[in-house]
Structure 1
Amino acid sequence: MFGMKNLGKVVLALASVALFTGNAFADNLTVDGKSRSMLVYAPSGIEKNRPLIIQMHGMNQDAPYQKNAAKWESIADTARFVVVFPNGENKAWDIGGDKDVNFLKAIINEMYQKYGIDKNRVYVSGFSMGGMMSYHAANKMGDMIAAIAPVSGYPIGNPAPASTRPMPIIHTHGTSDDVVNYSSGVNYLKRWVSFNKCSESSQVIKPYPANRSGSAASLEVWSSCSNDIEVRLMSIAGKGHWYSMDLASVNTSDEIWNFVKNYSLDGSNITPPTPAIVVPTNRDEVFNGGFDSSAVAWDLQLHGDAAATGDAKDGKYQFDISAVGTQNYQVQLIQHDLHLEKDQWYEVSFDASAGAARTLEVNVEQHNDPWASYLKEKQNFDLGTDMKTYSFKFQMTAATDTNSRLSFNAGAATGTLTLDNVVLKKLAEPPEDIGTEALKFVSPRTQNMQVFEVYGLNGQLLGRVNAKNAAEVQTQVRLVVRPKGSFYVKPVR
């Protein structure tokens, strides 16, 4: 019926974590004549009228376990909000009655009395059975909760949504969850999509975030809902019954906060969620080459002993390289999903500068192993402290690749480096310095088959041909280059 085996099977390997860290403290409330306990985290000097997040543990778990798993403290410190981790009685939640609904209401009132929290910005979240309780709270106290964020949990029995208002939801779930079935959870979330009167069509971003090519996560968004809310599904491929904090994919707590913070019961001082940026795949031009608002579509990769940070700042991409390895590619900013057509000519251009004189290697290559380069040779540029424009042209001589990549390889030196205005464009015809209008060659010295190298007038090696005489050289060269401009040929010695 529910697709779940045993919520208690999750091993509590971390259940013995320390009870207090930072400003976290244990607190108790009397609710319906019973003492109820919780952990409270409040940033030092927290101001009044700040949000409250209540996050509930799974079955057979407790507040310290959930606090350690979700790691909300640094997020709360930065964004300035209070987090409460309540303890369920007997490590479980009343997901059918009012016992724990009353507990949540008491927590909200207590946090208002102690910290003056903004009652219009209360958000409820939970893992596993705590996720089930999040949905139950949405039904029973929708007028007190601005948004919910269940993780790997949905209600037993599939109760119909019954909130007093459209409810913003971000639901996170691993596709390989063998405790709470992923597909069943998705089907239940879609009942809320219908309840909230959202558009039946959705937008899918895969991978998510779009600039993290190795991410196992994907994001499905239903918008155009009542009251301008959204419903989001964060799916994590291959993830089991776990609260994901995988830096290669998504930090669940970050994603929850970045969603719920956009909602308030009264709509005051809240802007609608920023529409997710969708990076098109199989594209024949660079996406976000101007780094106008973020580094979306770009991926900084570090290999070996290299150490660097990088991000979009002031409309430019800025590296800060603190350690290099033995190869240029060990500090590498890439953009993949580029479509390169066989025989097509392209031009790559970009602006760059550095904190001190240095070189920058640029490559166009396969995105996957063996990462074969599509250039005759990798391009190297001498950068100075002034921003200048650099460019090069190349012909795609390999088979068409719909997922190639442009790579800026900055592992040659430490220090700062800045990029901007990165462009990849098709050339309508070959460059002027390449072609057969003024054929120049060194005639073969014998009638035996010989290898010749073909160069553009800029000295770039364009390819090699096999021929026995001048006429064959001309014929073969025309297969390598296009009929415009000039080139020269020399035999290989």
Structure 2
Amino acid sequence: MFGFKKMGGVVLALTSVALLAGNAFADNINVNGKSRSMNVYAPKNIEKDRPLIIQMHGMNQDANYQQNAAKWEGIADTARIVVVFPNGENKAWDISGDKDINFLKAIINEMYTRYEIDKNRVYVSGFSMGGMMSYHAANKMGDMIAAIAPVSGGGGVNSPKRAMPIMHTHGTSDDVVNYNSTVNTVKSWVSAQKCSSNSQKIKPYPTTKSGSAASLEIWSGCTDNVEVRLLTIEGKGHWYSMDEAVSVNTSVEIWNFVKNYSLDGSSITPPAPAIVVPTNRDEIFNGGFDSSAVAWDLQLHGDGKATGDAKDGKYALDISAIGTQNYQVQLIQHDLHLEKDQWYEISFDASASAARTLEVNVEQHTDPWASYLKEKLNFDIGTESNTYTLKFQMTAATDTNGRLSFNAGAATGTLTLDNVMLKKIDAPEDETDGFVKPLRMNVDGVAQYSVFSMNGTFLGSVSADRVGLHDATKTLVKHPGMYLVKSHNGNVLRLKVK
């Protein structure tokens, strides 16, 4: 039923555009004896065998409106492509019959006559009803279209001629075309094209923009190696998003996706296979940050402000403002399977631009975010990288979507994380009343103890007997967490301060 060929060669990804001087004009063509109108934009002196993208307007709009909203001219000049903005009759599209299918076919043939476009690289996109028309075209003339990119408009699967690469963009607050209904539409194409049921989720998108309202879900492993993508813009209504400051430039995102596909596979490289993050897993995924920040989610709450990304195999978190709670800047990984009564050990490497504390928690990923630790642990992080560990028993019911949270809202500056691991362990042999004893402590009566952070920083001395050691240390260190306590005879104790 499907037919699709992969591609070779390379084209540079477009991340920004410059508006250059091209040729823009309104024109008419004859379609089955009727005159149909369109706006055409082509770069000056465009070479032959260049791609064509057809961009369709929404209901009660027109070509001029869509051209102004989507601003494809800069992309066209940079990427050397032809863009056509057709006009639907009575400002609408025939999304069930062949009237506008014939119009699109006529546009493709006309652009080939004028510019010798590459017919293997024709892409169809549209907003609202124009998005619905994109899906209709995928069903009716998929053998002439290399990829589609609908925006805020859905359409079902109806015996397409081949597997279709799809990039769908939609706002969650769309009150004209319901977002949730469209998600179901996208998933119907995912199912029909036999894509992997495990999708890759990127939030925020792009990962370099921590405050972005956009997120991206990718289904790969589809028939003929196509991909289906859903670009979601939180809080966006029925509108074509071009606001890079808070989300994405939709036209740039569309081009960066569709350009990777060709009907004959002769033009450019397809997207790299998506990294599929397994759900319900009992270990940390990408704990070495070798695959950028995949599976990690930087969340900001309240007054917390920070940016973060994987650099040189480590995660660098740059915190510019803190709130009143540690969790107001947090790096999390969820989808963790935490089994009731099982003991676990978490370890990680950390350093900071200046000495600070870092709160670590294991908790529910949904409201009320109940902690699975007896108490959240605070670690003293120094400027040199050290390894930190904690052990806990999962006493709550088994959770298939638990999460590990690094709550970094205690201080500004840079925090670097690496080698994050979660593993099952046997119950510790000697853990009572907050004490974990790696070496035996033979001290009777009141004695002098030296207290260190877990990275070896000397914090001070206390005098206490064994019973009062916890309270004396707590008075010295102020923060709950694990500390190293050394007696006068050289024995070392790990002490959990509550």
TM over 0.5: yes
Which whole-Å deviations, capped at 9, do the CAs of 1:243-272 have from their partners, x for residues lacking one? 575999998656644542321122124334
CA RMSD of aligned residues (A): 5.2
In 2, Cα distance between equivalents of 1:303 and 1:311: 18
Counterpart of 1:60? Answer: 60
Counterpart of 1:146? Answer: 146
In structure 2, relative to structure 1, the CA distance for the partners of 1:80 and 1:299 (3 Å cut) is farther
Which whole-Å deviations, capped at 9, do the CAs of 1:451-475 have from their partners, x for residues lacking one? x89969x999899xxxxxxxxxxxx
Q: Please point out which of 354, 372, 387 is paired with 1:357.
A: 354
The 8 Å contact of residues 279 and 297 in structure 1, kept in 2 or not, is answered as yes
Q: Counterparts of 1:421-436 in structure 2 under 5 Å? A: 421-430=419-428
Counterpart of 1:242? Answer: 238
Q: Please point out which of 226, 231, 240 is paired with 1:230.
A: 226
In 2, Cα distance between equivalents of 1:334 and 1:191: 31
Counterpart of 2:288? Answer: 290
For normalisation by structure 1, the TM-score amounts to: 0.65
Counterpart of 2:26? Answer: 28
In structure 2, relative to structure 1, the CA distance for the partners of 1:162 and 1:308 (3 Å cut) is closer
In structure 2, relative to structure 1, the CA distance for the partners of 1:211 and 1:486 (3 Å cut) is same
Counterpart of 2:197? Answer: 203
Count of matched residue positions in the alignment of Structure 1 and Structure 2: 424
User: CA offset at residue 124 of structure 1?
Assistant: 0.7
In 1, Cα distance between equivalents of 2:180 and 2:342: 45
| Higher RCO (C-alpha under 8 Å, 6+ residues apart) | 2
Structure 2 counterpart of 1:381, one-letter code: D
Which whole-Å deviations, capped at 9, do the CAs of 1:364-413 have from their partners, x for residues lacking one? 143344545425342222221x4x23212232365246233222233344
Q: Counterparts of 1:130-169 in structure 2 under 5 Å? A: 130-138=130-138, 142=142, 144-151=144-151, 153=153, 161=159, 163=161, 166-169=163-166
1:301 aligns with 2:295: no
Indicate the larger mover: 182-191 or 365-374: 182-191
User: CA offset at residue 430 of structure 1?
Assistant: 0.9
User: CA offset at residue 293 of structure 1?
Assistant: 1.6
1:399 aligns with 2:392: no
Counterpart of 1:88? Answer: 88
In 2, Cα distance between equivalents of 1:205 and 1:192: 10
The 8 Å contact of residues 168 and 230 in structure 1, kept in 2 or not, is answered as yes
In structure 2, relative to structure 1, the CA distance for the partners of 1:145 and 1:299 (3 Å cut) is same
In structure 2, relative to structure 1, the CA distance for the partners of 1:352 and 1:25 (3 Å cut) is farther
Which whole-Å deviations, capped at 9, do the CAs of 1:7-58 have from their partners, x for residues lacking one? xxxxxxxxxxxxxx9458852123128473426486x999986644322112
In 2, Cα distance between equivalents of 1:377 and 1:188: 40
1:104 aligns with 2:115: no
Structure 2 counterpart of 1:131, one-letter code: G
The 8 Å contact of residues 161 and 192 in structure 1, kept in 2 or not, is answered as no
In 1, Cα distance between equivalents of 2:179 and 2:370: 41
Q: Please point out which of 407, 410, 418 is paired with 1:409.
A: 407
Indicate the larger mover: 246-255 or 57-66: 246-255
In 2, Cα distance between equivalents of 1:135 and 1:488: 63
The 8 Å contact of residues 147 and 258 in structure 2, kept in 1 or not, is answered as yes
Which whole-Å deviations, capped at 9, do the CAs of 1:298-326 have from their partners, x for residues lacking one? 11112333332111223221223333344
Per the alignment, in what secondary structure is the counterpart of residue 202 of structure 2?
coil
Q: Please point out which of 262, 265, 269 is paired with 1:264.
A: 262
The 8 Å contact of residues 204 and 215 in structure 2, kept in 1 or not, is answered as no
The 8 Å contact of residues 93 and 130 in structure 2, kept in 1 or not, is answered as yes
Indicate the larger mover: 257-266 or 228-237: 228-237
Structure 2 counterpart of 1:383, one-letter code: G
Structure 2 counterpart of 1:124, one-letter code: V
Give ranges in structure 2 of 5+ residues lacking alignment. 1-17, 446-466, 483-491
Per the alignment, in what secondary structure is the counterpart of residue 134 of structure 1?
helix
The 8 Å contact of residues 170 and 179 in structure 2, kept in 1 or not, is answered as no
Counterpart of 1:390? Answer: 387
In 1, Cα distance between equivalents of 2:256 and 2:382: 38
For normalisation by structure 2, the TM-score amounts to: 0.65
In 2, Cα distance between equivalents of 1:45 and 1:353: 55
The 8 Å contact of residues 28 and 36 in structure 2, kept in 1 or not, is answered as yes
Per the alignment, in what secondary structure is the counterpart of residue 268 of structure 1?
coil
Counterpart of 2:452? Answer: none
Per the alignment, in what secondary structure is the counterpart of residue 37 of structure 2?
strand
The 8 Å contact of residues 354 and 413 in structure 2, kept in 1 or not, is answered as no
In structure 2, relative to structure 1, the CA distance for the partners of 1:435 and 1:314 (3 Å cut) is closer
